[in-house]
């Protein structure tokens, strides 16, 4: 019945905003738990990327066609 109501309703409400949920800790991606390995892996990748760009800044500043 809910499907039919949505299909035939004249309400033009804005769609609800979707929230991405982490598959490991079950929290929204913006609010990962500290023990979540997905969060730790993401933080580790960002840390390594920051170290690489500090060590060799020409890597991130190279033009696309070069």
pLDDT in tens, 8-37: 776 666 777 889 998 888 889 888 888 888
| 32 three-state secondary structure | coil
| Position 63 in a domain | no
Number of domains forming the structure of the chain: 1
pLDDT on residue 65: 60
Element (H, E) at 53: helix 37-55
CB–CB of 28/19 below 8 Å?
yes
* Alpha-carbon dihedral 28, 29, 33, 39, rounded to 10 degrees: 160
pLDDT on residue 48: 92
Domain that holds residue 45: 18-56
| Position 52 in a domain | yes
**Is pLDDT of 44 > 90?**
yes
**Is pLDDT of 60 > 60?**
no
């Amino acid at each position: 019945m809910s499907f039919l109501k949505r299909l035939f309703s004249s309400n033009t409400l804005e769609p609800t905003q979707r929230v991405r949920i982490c598959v490991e800790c079950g929290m929204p991606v913006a609010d990962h738990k500290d023990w979540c390995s997905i969060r730790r892996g993401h933080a580790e990748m960002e840390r390594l990327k920051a170290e690489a760009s500090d060590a060799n800044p020409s890597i991130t500043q190279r033009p696309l066609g070069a």
